Structure 1
Amino acid sequence: MQAEVRGARPPGQGAEARAMSRKAAMSGWIGSTLEYYDFAIYGQAAALVFPAVFFPSQDPTVALIASLATYAVGYVARPLGAFVLGTWGDRHGRKNVLVLAMMLMGVSTLAVGLLPTYGQVGVLAPVLLVLLRLVQGFAVAGELGGASAMIVEHAPADRRGFYASFSLQGTQAGSILAAASFIPLAAFLPEAAFQSWGWRIPFLLSAFVILAGYLIRRRVAETPVFLEETARGGAPKAPVLQVVRESRGTIVRCVLMALANVVGTTVVVFGAAYATNEAYGVGMSPATYLWLPLAANVVAVVLIPYFGKLSDRIGRRPLMIAGPLGAGVLSFGYLYAVGQGNVVLTIALAILMFGVLYQVWNATFASYFQELFPTRHRVTGFAVSQNIGLMLVAFLPSVFAFIAPPGSANVPLVIGGLTLLLCIVSAVAAWTTPETSRVDLRDLEQPGRAGIATAAPDRERAGAA
């Protein structure tokens, strides 16, 4: 049956092609792990440390909102990074953009660990912090789009979902490393030492990312599909204009589907602030709460390849619909458990909500989004749509803190309701998008076959699914 799949790897591309598929997947995994470690440690520090270090205020709510806003600032830069780095990847190759993105991320994260505090230089400290977060956001915008494009374009058609899931497994592994780097520091250092210098250690470790990123990414070959498109003169001078002209409907749907990222925001970012910030009065210790995303991400790392493989068997759309809906419903129970200070129930629901149900969506969206765009603007289309969606979600921690501030009695109902609403929007967007799991990527290169206009059989499968 697999031999009948359109786009399956032709005879004559056996062992060498399979080896390159695995090499691309491993490169995507390692690169995403390192780069998302850099990006994730900022989220941990924004909830646990930065309110006191960079945004001291007599009003703890103001300090918390300001700190979480700097977390969101990184997502503001992501659409710009998507435009610039997506264009670079579509014009100059997937390999080049991946090396550039990782170098920018490593340097900016290292610099955060060297910043002076508000107490040392005043308002200059948060200004520099915001500028470095902007560079982080710019850099990470090109990472997943370039990595997943490289993997999808190297992979056999009947295993694209499985191979592409490794780039997402890498992002979760990076989050594990981020949480793990803070746990011993928060647990064993005196609070004064942790606030003074302990939090800097995870950022300073990014020096290794700079070296590792260069060594890993420089060894991966460019994809055959991209080289073929370039040889035909298909690399556009302005991929952003082309993707808007040819695939704007796909971009809108992908942006709406990306709202499912609210699940991670609710669990990892706002959940940390709700559980540990003194003003909310829940009283979980930072050391205890840091175990929650760690446990959820360990489960996620195990399950992601299975969900990716499942999407190759039953299609992308069912998973893109079911995952957000299930996680959104559970958000009420999770936030209630946090509010009650029930550590065991909080961890259990976080694992089920973020480590399982959200990963059903997370393991699938990279291959799905990549398959919706043609090679000539695939990196740009993926990066722009993903990062616009993420930018919209990124401000939610501050919005959550504003509409349900410390002292509110209805935090689980209000925040859970908003989380579920955005998950429903994501699921509806997936339901209205065609299935792509059997599309031959080369079919998308024909004029008029960009984006949502895939093959007619896929429209039929979309309706059946």
Structure 2
Amino acid sequence: MTASTEPTDKRSLRRAFVASLSGTTLEYYDFAAYSVAAATLFGTLFFPSGDALVGTMAAFSTYAVGYLARPLGGFIFGRLGDKLGRKQVLVFTLLLTGIATFLIGILPTHASIGGWAAVILVLLRFAQGVGVGGEWGGAVLLSSEFGDPKKRGFWASAAQIGPPAGNLLANGVIALLAAVMSKAAFESWGWRIAFLLSGVLVIFGLWLRMKLEETPVFKKIAEKGEAPTAPLKEVFTKEPRALIAGILVRVCPDVLYSLFTVFVLTYMTTELGMSRSEGLTAVMIGSAFQLFLMPAAGALSDRINRRTLYTVGTIAAAVWPFIFFPMASTGSFLAVAVGMVIALAIHALLYGPQAALITEQFTARLRYTGSSLAYTLAGPIGGAVAPLIFTALLAAYDSWFAVALYLVATAVLTGIGIALSRQAPEEEPVVTTAETVEVAR
């Protein structure tokens, strides 16, 4: 690299990092706003019944729809990302998620239009899921393909900071609205403000992404005419082990995150008698720490074996619920907040290096498709059904112990994924042919 080109390259790298971070933050703000509302409000507003548990289960069912829709987004946008480029696809995913969230903000409730409210809500949640499903793979590549492959863990973590940042922003907005408004006003119309803000945030995100250039890796692939014509088929036929490994390593972190950012809100209010604001505050504190822990964990994975670090995080995830729930049972907000910080720190240890671990399993020309499929196909067996299963286990056994055992089972699946995965060579991305080695470089 010459002195004349270095400033431009560094500027492009920084711009890509910010665009990746901000884009995923905006999309996960949308996703998290729904998650919080599902745990605290939507059961009553859109799925009213005489049984609070039934209403919560119904609301969590629409939460699951967002995850179940992600594979469709992965199939559609992952394929387009490897054929057309990273930048164009990321503009579409941001628009899709943002518009769906804005429409939720103006959606009439069950009291106004009856059962159609629930139907439309499910459709909009589905659209959110499709957008997020296509977002992650491209956002990861946006930052990592501009950066040094030896520092892929750090640069790829830009997209990983998005979920806690979006979660923090969504919880913060909803907590602020709940604090400054009466309970009646907040439940009547105040919650809508959090969803309507998405429109403003999307405009900002689009402005950032439209200023970006295509990644150097995809430019070289396009110049050599190496873009795949059937990326979905190639991933399933030529790189199945990479796909299975990528799916399984996501399961435990997804379930862990659902446990401590979604289900715990319900557990604290229904089982511990704590207020909604206390639950949201605890989640916000834990998410704030993740903003720094995510890139730190990504950078750490560049220095030590990524698979070893991931194994340590998986074991910690399996153990922590057996410590957290006895702490939380005291009803002390301090105990819950500390427990939440540690839980989300463990999640950061997994999630920070996860993007690099998954993307480096695939060749450069199939990386968007492979990464997107791994990310989205993990949802239906991980985060999508986790709140439903947690709620059902708590209702059936009236004990947190069954909830903790479920997380242990998912940790076993992730352990299998780690065993199937491979560590990328430090000097170059994972590739399979001499031609794609040159392209990736």
- Structure-to-structure mapping, 1:170-249, within 5 angstroms: 170-249=162-241
The answer for the alignment partner of 2:408 in structure 1 is 420
Separation in structure 1 between the aligned mates of residue 78 and residue 331 of structure 2, nearest angstrom: 43
Q: Which stretch has the larger CA shift, 9-18 or 76-85?
A: 9-18
> Could you tell me whether the CA contact under 8 Å between 1:103 and 1:213 is conserved in 2?
no
Change (3 A) 1:11 1:160: farther
Q: Deviations over 1:321-361 (max 9, x none)?
A: 1112112211122233334423211111110011x111011
Q: 2:129 aligns with which of 128, 137, 144?
A: 137
Give the Å deviation of 1:378. 0.6
Change (3 A) 1:254 1:443: closer
Separation in structure 1 between the aligned mates of residue 367 and residue 429 of structure 2, nearest angstrom: 10
Give the Å deviation of 1:17. 2.4
5+ residue gaps in structure 2? none
The answer for the alignment partner of 2:392 in structure 1 is 402
- Structure-to-structure mapping, 1:39-438, within 5 angstroms: 39-260=31-252, 261-276=254-269, 280-354=270-344, 356-393=345-382, 394-405=384-395, 408-410=397-399, 412-436=400-424, 438=426
Give the Å deviation of 1:76. 0.8
Q: Which amino acid aligns with 2:30?
A: D
> Could you tell me whether the CA contact under 8 Å between 1:183 and 1:290 is conserved in 2?
yes
Q: Deviations over 1:39-72 (max 9, x none)?
A: 1100000001001100111111111110111101
Q: Deviations over 1:230-283 (max 9, x none)?
A: 12221122211111111111111111111121110111111111112xxx3421
> Could you tell me whether the CA contact under 8 Å between 1:51 and 1:66 is conserved in 2?
yes
Change (3 A) 1:124 1:446: farther
Q: Which amino acid aligns with 1:391?
A: P
> Could you tell me whether the CA contact under 8 Å between 2:360 and 2:430 is conserved in 1?
no
Secondary structure of the 2:409 match is helix
Separation in structure 1 between the aligned mates of residue 140 and residue 40 of structure 2, nearest angstrom: 32
Q: Percent identity?
A: 33
Q: Which stretch has the larger CA shift, 330-339 or 191-200?
A: 330-339
Secondary structure of the 2:69 match is helix
Separation in structure 2 between the aligned mates of residue 55 and residue 283 of structure 1, nearest angstrom: 23
Secondary structure of the 1:141 match is helix
> Could you tell me whether the CA contact under 8 Å between 2:241 and 2:420 is conserved in 1?
no
Give the Å deviation of 1:179. 0.6
Separation in structure 2 between the aligned mates of residue 212 and residue 185 of structure 1, nearest angstrom: 22
> Could you tell me whether the CA contact under 8 Å between 1:168 and 1:304 is conserved in 2?
yes
Say yes or no: does 1:22 pair with 2:14: yes
Change (3 A) 1:375 1:333: same
Separation in structure 1 between the aligned mates of residue 266 and residue 190 of structure 2, nearest angstrom: 19
Separation in structure 2 between the aligned mates of residue 376 and residue 194 of structure 1, nearest angstrom: 48
> Could you tell me whether the CA contact under 8 Å between 1:105 and 1:136 is conserved in 2?
yes
Q: Deviations over 1:422-446 (max 9, x none)?
A: 1232133213321115151374454
Secondary structure of the 1:405 match is helix
Give the Å deviation of 1:10. 9.3
Separation in structure 2 between the aligned mates of residue 437 and residue 188 of structure 1, nearest angstrom: 53
Change (3 A) 1:286 1:31: same
Separation in structure 2 between the aligned mates of residue 74 and residue 176 of structure 1, nearest angstrom: 19
> Could you tell me whether the CA contact under 8 Å between 1:259 and 1:425 is conserved in 2?
yes
Give the Å deviation of 1:397. 0.7
Give the count of matched residue pairs: 436
5+ residue gaps in structure 1? 1-8, 455-465
Separation in structure 2 between the aligned mates of residue 448 and residue 308 of structure 1, nearest angstrom: 25
Give the Å deviation of 1:309. 1.1
Separation in structure 2 between the aligned mates of residue 134 and residue 171 of structure 1, nearest angstrom: 18
> Could you tell me whether the CA contact under 8 Å between 1:40 and 1:178 is conserved in 2?
yes
Change (3 A) 1:381 1:443: closer
